[in-house]
Structure formats: structure tokens, C-alpha cells
């Protein structure tokens, strides 16, 4: 069996999502990694070091500079014949790319896989994470997105994969890149942070959201997350959203502040190791999943928590 992983990277650094995908693929067969981009030899060199990788396929061309799904999908299709499995992480990038590849190959993808039973049998969440479904796919080729938090990180060193250049494919002129707006943040990245401080509609305003959560996140070296209601109300940017239609996180510590705990929010954070919830409503559903529950007004509880942390030397 052979597996093709579509790598993800930011600027000059391979994403950890790719290491999680490699770890999942190790259960399936020999692993090749595709790096598509422009001037990405450095990324290929990083991928080459990953333990357990056979080959790095390098598609280096100006057409792939923005790694648009529309451009990369035909490239993956061209390579697909040699592989039994094609895998991407269930990130914004992977969720955008893989369904396009699946449609072009006329295959049904299995999304957000959390466990691999055998080469055709996979477990993934359904109903916003309220049930786990085991599916057996009889197709000759399996296309999977994997949930990164469900698979360990593969070793990023020790490998000696060969790098092979692959021919580029004409890019369909259906869409074009205009601009990329990135949120600048001094905090760790949400999906890989060990601690996440997350705020909901209970914060009441964008000013209060920033005034209460930023110092707490700074003190704990935490990423900041948000409920969809907080994002919709303009308290936080869209890419802070945790949940069914946002990011899935599983940090060591998740602090939910002024978040009710709707199932769509829980779908994105309930696998966190320790969950702390601060809410003034003792019946809020977030308390059903919380390890530590504080029924209190967040406007007094958060500054008090910060004071206590500072007193402890944080
Ligand atoms: P609310 O439900 O309004 O809760 C606010 C909480 O703050 C309450 O529990 C209240 O008691 C508490 N509070 C208020 N004031 C204070 C105070 N002073 N001190 C302490 N506590 C206080 N939601 C997501 O989060 N992520 C998703 O990805 C997502 N995807 C969705 C997809 C679909 C298809 C649908 C239909 C919904 C989705 N939602 C998602 C929305 C979800 O259903 C909820 O509406 C949302 O999570 C509620 O956000 P919230 O908890 O911040 O707001």
C-alpha cells in the first residue's frame, strides 16, 4: 500500500499538521509527501527529514505560489494513480483541497478521520461530534482528511527521504489569487497551543473580550479562541472560532469564559485534557464537560484569576 500526503506549510516552516498526517499514514503503508509551492526547496528539505517518509515529491512553480486548492487539486489528480490512499489534514487547507480532488477522481472522501481500523475502515465523528461512525469504503482509492488532534506527531528528524521533482499541471483559469489577509497575533497558534483561553458572548463587547482575555493569555502563554456567537458579534476575528464550523482543538488546558457550551462549540474542544469553565449560569451546558467549574461573573472572576496567577509568579 502507498500513501500520498499533501503537505501544509507557513512561510518557511512545515506545519505540524503534516507530522500528524504522517503519523496516521504510518498505519497504512509507504509514505510519500507532496510539497506544492514556489521556492519551497527548504520545505522539501524539512519534509525529507521526517521519519518514515519514502519520497518527497516537489512541485515547485509560480502557479503554486499561493497553494490554492484550485491549482493543487489537478496536480494531486495527476499523481493519484500511484497511490492507494491520499491524505490531508482536516485543516482549512485540507478541507478545501481534498473534496476537489475527490470530485475530480469521482471518489467519496472520508472526512475528519479520528481512527484507522484497517486500510478501508475508518472512524470519524458525525452529528457535530456527538457520535462516532465507523465506515468501510470499498473504493479502490481512499481519500481521507485526518483530525490532527487524534494522531500523534511523527518524528520530524531522522528520515532520509529522496526528493523528486514532479511535472506541473496547467492550472484552470477559474479563479485567481487577489490578496491574503492574515491575523497578526503574539499568541501561539490556536490548533497547536498547549493552553487555550476562549471567550464567548458573555464577554459583552470586543473591548471587554480583549481587555480580559489578552492579559490572561499572555500570562499563560495561551492561544485565544472564541465561540461563534463572539465571532459573529465582532468580538474576535473569524479564525479564532472553535467548534463544528471553526477549529478543532485539544490542548492540555482549555478555559471557556462566558461560553454556554452549545454542542457545536463542544465539537471543537471537548477532547481538551482539562477544561475550566467560568459562567454565571450554574445550569450552563459547558459545566457538563468541565473538570473545573466556576459559577461567577466573569468581569470579577477573570481579573481575580489573573491576580492569583501573578501572585504565584506567572
Ligand atoms: P451564548 O449561548 O449566548 O452564551 C453566553 C454565555 O455567557 C451564557 O452561558 C451566559 O450565562 C454567559 N454569561 C453572560 N454574561 C456573563 C457574565 N457576566 N459572567 C459569566 N458568564 C456570563 N458555535 C461555536 O462556538 N462554534 C462553532 O463552530 C459553531 N458552529 C455552528 C454550526 C451550526 C450549523 C450552528 C447551527 C451553530 C453553530 N454554532 C457554533 C453556534 C452555537 O449553536 C451557539 O450559538 C454558540 O456556540 C453560542 O456562543 P456563546 O456560548 O458564546 O453564546
Whether 187 maps to a domain, the answer reads no
Residue nearest to atom 2 of ligand 1 (CA): 260
Q: How far is residue 153's CA from residue 167's CA, in Å, rounded to a whole number? A: 30
pLDDT given at position 183? 73
Q: How far is residue 57's CA from residue 40's CA, in Å, rounded to a whole number? A: 11
Q: Is any ligand 1 atom within 6 A of the Cβ of residue 299?
A: yes
Q: How far is residue 269's CA from residue 261's CA, in Å, rounded to a whole number? A: 10
pLDDT in tens, 139-149: 999 999 999 99
Q: Are residues 202 and 107 in the same domain?
A: no
Whether 25 maps to a domain, the answer reads yes
Average model confidence (pLDDT) for the chain?
95
Q: Are residues 29 and 152 in the same domain?
A: yes
Compute the distance from residue 202 Cα to the ligand 1 centre, in Å: 8
pLDDT in tens, 45-72: 999 999 999 999 999 999 999 999 999 9
When pLDDT is averaged across residues 13-25 and rounded to a whole number, the result is 96
How many CA atoms lie less than 13 Å away from 283 in the CB half-sphere?
Answer: 0
Q: Is any ligand 1 atom within 6 A of the Cβ of residue 280?
A: yes
Q: Is any ligand 1 atom within 6 A of the Cβ of residue 238?
A: no
Whole domain around residue 268: which residue ranges? 195-311
Compute the distance from residue 286 Cα to the ligand 1 centre, in Å: 10
Of 102, 95, 67, the closest CA to residue 245 belongs to: 95
Q: Which residue has the cell 505540524?
A: 16
pLDDT in tens, 196-233: 999 999 999 999 999 999 999 999 999 999 999 999 99
> 34: part of which helix (H) or strand (E)?
strand 30-37
Q: Are residues 248 and 154 in the same domain?
A: no
Whether 265 maps to a domain, the answer reads yes
Total structural domains within the chain:
2
203 touches 235 (CB < 8 A): yes
Cell of 165: 521533482
Give the pairing of strands 223-226 and 195-199. parallel
What's the CATH code of the domain at 289?
3.40.50.1220
Ligand 1 atom showing the smallest separation from residue 128 Cα: 32
Percent of the chain with pLDDT over 90: 90
Q: Is any ligand 1 atom within 6 A of the Cβ of residue 125?
A: no
Ligand 1 atom showing the smallest separation from residue 199 Cα: 52
End residue of a domain, out of 116, 147, 165: 165
Q: Are residues 101 and 17 in the same domain?
A: yes
Q: Are residues 72 and 112 in the same domain?
A: yes
7 touches 38 (CB < 8 A): no
Whether 184 maps to a domain, the answer reads no
What's the CATH code of the domain at 29?
3.40.50.620
Q: Is any ligand 1 atom within 6 A of the Cβ of residue 264?
A: yes
Whether 90 maps to a domain, the answer reads yes
Q: Are residues 199 and 150 in the same domain?
A: no
Compute the distance from residue 249 Cα to the ligand 1 centre, in Å: 17
Whether 267 maps to a domain, the answer reads yes
Whether 88 maps to a domain, the answer reads yes
Q: Are residues 121 and 215 in the same domain?
A: no
| CA 176 to the chain's CA centroid | 25
Amino acid at each position: 500500500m502507498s500513501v500520498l500526503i499533501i503537505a501544509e506549510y507557513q512561510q518557511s516552516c512545515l506545519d505540524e499538521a503534516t507530522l500528524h498526517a504522517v503519523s496516521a499514514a504510518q498505519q497504512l503503508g509507504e509514505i510519500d509527501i507532496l510539497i506544492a509551492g514556489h521556492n519551497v526547496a527548504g520545505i522539501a528539505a524539512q519534509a525529507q527529514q521526517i521519519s518514515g517518509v519514502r519520497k518527497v515529491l516537489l512541485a515547485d512553480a509560480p502557479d503554486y505560489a499561493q497553494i490554492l486548492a484550485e491549482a493543487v487539486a489537478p496536480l494531486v489528480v495527476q499523481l493519484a494513480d500511484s497511490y492507494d490512499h491520499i491524505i490531508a489534514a482536516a485543516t482549512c487547507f485540507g478541507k478545501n483541497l481534498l473534496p476537489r480532488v475527490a470530485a475530480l477522481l469521482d471518489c467519496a472522501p472520508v472526512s475528519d478521520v479520528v481512527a484507522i481500523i484497517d486500510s478501508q475502515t475508518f472512524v470519524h465523528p458525525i452529528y457535530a461530534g456527538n457520535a462516532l461512525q465507523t465506515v468501510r469504503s470499498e473504493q479502490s482509492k481512499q481519500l481521507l482528511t485526518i483530525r490532527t488532534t487524534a494522531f500523534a506527531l511523527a518524528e520530524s528528524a531522522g528520515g532520509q527521504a529522496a526528493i523528486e521533482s514532479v511535472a506541473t499541471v496547467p492550472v484552470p483559469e477559474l479563479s485567481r489569487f487577489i490578496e491574503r489577509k492574515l491575523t497578526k497575533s503574539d499568541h501561539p497558534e490556536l490548533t497547536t497551543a498547549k493552553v487555550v483561553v476562549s471567550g464567548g458572548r458573555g464577554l459583552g463587547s470586543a473591548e471587554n473580550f480583549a481587555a480580559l482575555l489578552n492579559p490572561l493569555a499572555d500570562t499563560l502563554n495561551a492561544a485565544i479562541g472564541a465561540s461563534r456567537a463572539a465571532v459573529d458579534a465582532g468580538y474576535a476575528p473569524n479564525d479564532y472560532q472553535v467548534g463544528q464550523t471553526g477549529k478543532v482543538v485539544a490542548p492540555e488546558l482549555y478555559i471557556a469564559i462566558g461560553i454556554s457550551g452549545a454542542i457545536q462549540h463542544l465539537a471543537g474542544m471537548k477532547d481538551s485534557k482539562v477544561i475550566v469553565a467560568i459562567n454565571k449560569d450554574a445550569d450552563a451546558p459547558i459545566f457538563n464537560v468541565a473538570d473545573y467549574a466556576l459559577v461567577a461573573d466573569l468581569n470579577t472572576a477573570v481579573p481575580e484569576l489573573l491576580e492569583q496567577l501573578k501572585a504565584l509568579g506567572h
